[in-house]
Amino acid sequence: MNFQQLRIVRETVRQGFNLTEVANALYTSQSGVSKHLKDLEEELGIELFHRKGKRLLGLTEPGRELLSVVERMLLDAHNIRQLADEFSKRDQGRLVVATTHTQARYVLPPVVARFKAAYPRVQLVLHQASPAEIVQQLLSGEADIGIATESLDGVSGLISFPYYSWQHTVIVPEGHSLADDPALSLPALARFPVVTYHEGFTGRTRIDEAFAAAGLHPDVVMTALDADVIKTYVELGLGVGIIAAMAFSPARDKGLVALDAMHLFAPNTTRLAVRNGHYLRGFAYRFIELCAPALEEEIIRGEVRKAVGE
């Protein structure tokens, strides 16, 4: 048994049992992948995969049991390398942060600037992804830190912390009739076409819940993944926009007016998450502290210890 065999088992599941994709992902040959799997099965004396001819269809019961052990072993091996680097290369390495467009564009720039000034030799990688993709990147070990408003709370295998709270705001072109409304209301908003976030992104659930609670069914004529696209189409007169308040800047977004909507939509909480058991380098803890000073290293380590105890 060797680590290459274990990596192939894990990657086979990740790639939906497509051995061509497994070989591509691991930069090896399909015949080599097949041989490693057969060798492992022969060594263990059990079948790990259901087969139809040469095709793999899924994991057998012992295969499913083995997969959980393989995941732990590969995570531990990764942690050993991280631990060694922590003491031999304290100020260099690679940090992968998976986050959404909104966070990367409007919240993280000052954090990134301060982090790079403190750790110029650390390669910082920002993966922009959907909240669901961020969860998968954390669980698979592709990302060290995840930041998003949706999906990170209550996920088995992840530990998440509140980062900051924020509100939605309504945007309209200059001269729009709603700009003169002294008391913006949901019924007033529902009289116009709405341009806002795609479902599952940037607090869209809070928007839908507010309209539903008021018994209203707004005409959502267009959805987008980021505020820049929403603002573009509001400028074109497609409808009124509902975006994250931090995505609006009077200096930058000339021609648009932001209307206070704090009384219309419930606040949102963006969360920061790490994988339980994933070894974080010292500079990863520093990045988290730059995001949220209250999240000191000992607090995060304490939550990890509690999770392990559970």
CATH 1.20.1440.120 for the 3-82 domain, yes or no: no
Q: Report the range of poorest mean pLDDT among 75-79, 137-141, 282-286, 295-299.
A: 75-79
Q: In b/e form, how buried is each residue of 128-161, taking b as 16+ CB within 10 angstroms?
A: bbbbebbbbbbbebebbbbbbbbbbeebeebbbb
For domain 168-266, the CATH architecture is: 3-Layer(aba) Sandwich (3.40)
The pLDDT tens digits of the residues spanning 176-195 come to: 999 988 789 999 999 999 99
Q: How confident is the model at residue 36 (pLDDT cuts 50, 70, 90)?
A: confident
Percent of the chain scoring above 70 in pLDDT: 95
Measure the CA angle with vertex 57, ends 53 and 58; round to 5°.
140
Give the integer Cα–Cα distance in Å for 14 and 298. 33
Across 202-229, average pLDDT: 95
Q: For CATH 1.10.10.10, list the domain ranges present in the chain.
A: 3-82
> Topology of 91-164+270-309 in CATH?
D-Maltodextrin-Binding Protein; domain 2 (3.40.190)
Who wins on pLDDT, 98 or 86? 98
168, pLDDT greater than 80: yes
Q: For CATH 3.40.190.10, list the domain ranges present in the chain.
A: 91-164+270-309, 168-266
Give the integer Cα–Cα distance in Å for 52 and 297. 50
Give the integer Cα–Cα distance in Å for 34 and 78. 24
In the 8-state DSSP scheme, what is residue 267?
-
The pTM score is 0.72
Q: Looking at the chain, how many residues does it have?
A: 310
Q: Provide the phi-psi class of 93: left if phi over 0, else alpha when psi is between -120 and 50, else beta.
A: left
Owner of token pair 């998450």: 273
